[in-house]
Amino acid sequence: MMNKRDWTIGITHLIKPSFDPENAAFQGRADFVYFPSRHEADFPMGALPPLDAFLVWTPSISVNTINQLSNCKIIVRYGVGYDKIDLTGLDRAGIAFSNNPEYGPEDVADTAMGLILALQRRLVQHNALAKGYSDTWQENHLTPMLHSPRTTVGIVGLGRIGTSVARRLAPFGYKVVAYDPYISNGMFRALQVERIAALEELVERVDVLTLHCPLTAETESMIDRQVLDRAKPGLLLVNTARGKLISSLDTIEHCLRNGQIGGVGLDALPEEPPGPHPLIEAWRQDEDWTKGRVIITPHNAFFSDDSMYECRFAAAETARLFLEEGIQRNRVAAP
């Protein structure tokens, strides 16, 4: 075991000093170098070569950065997704890579449930309209309104978060079905979730579709206009995973306007923060056709005070274990 501060650890944007969770994980034996920029192009390159490990959140890590990491043994992403990490480049450079999947599945699942219930019960729209009621009150119903025991929810991705969502859906009385070709039949049976063999079949069956899979070459743009055209009119679509699982904001806007999608709850967008787009502008201006139908949150489904500490400690501990004991948790191999 190390007896002094022998490690130099880089920490990127989204994490802010002080680095108490990281210091706790390294048991006071590391110095930390902060990279506050959202973009790797702005990294001070002279600060990269001394790093023994790099803890990464927002920025992409391309070969331009990798070529400067001459002493780095491992990169650990604070989050689960790794679509912005050049895994092949890391492999060629002999740098290990791990993600951080353990933290916060409950928080993301809670957010997904909140979005499902808000859309199903039309809570945002009720809240806005109720401000203008004076002579009437309880008789102001909104239709259509789904009834949970007669509603089928489809989950795409039955990993840690998808499983947490399935467990939350069951007590509400929903019928739960899922598509995930990589999960065993035993898991489906243990959760009492019906397995659907194809994404297209899943979409045809459900009233609510919630996405919980990683962004990969296989899953990018998996929810496109052709898939959504197979859905029941009025589908409620929730995405707390990655924005690019859905082909484009154009697809969402088109399907909302023609009624194929009844409402969307999005914690992840293709571009963050979002650039100019008619759907985003309509949402910002609270245009009538979006009221209660478009709920967007700023990619913070993972967050709670407790889960953020867990996330930071676990990522740093993964780096420490690799540097000091040669143990690599949550290894992600190059394709």
In the chain, the amino acid numbered 83 is D
Known catalytic membership, residue 39: no
Q: For residue 179, which of 210, 151, 205, 158 has the smallest C-alpha distance?
A: 158
First CA to last CA across the chain, in angstroms? 33
Residue 316, H or E segment: helix 305-325
- Classify burial at 226, counting beta carbons within 10 Å of its beta carbon; exposed 0-12, middle 13-18, buried 19 or more: exposed
DSSP per-residue string spanning 132-146: T-SS--TT---SS--
Known catalytic membership, residue 212: no
Catalytic member of 195, 299, 324, 329 = 299
Largest CA distance in the chain: 74
Query: Angle at CA 193, nearest 5°, toward 192 and 199?
Result: 165
Catalytic member of 92, 147, 220, 272 = 272
- Residue 232 DSSP class: P
Handedness of CA 129, 135, 137, 143 (dihedral sign): negative
Q: For residue 53, which of 318, 266, 311, 333 has the smallest C-alpha distance?
A: 318
Catalytic member of 77, 122, 242, 293 = 242
Known catalytic membership, residue 272: yes
Q: Which residues are catalytic?
A: 242, 272, 299
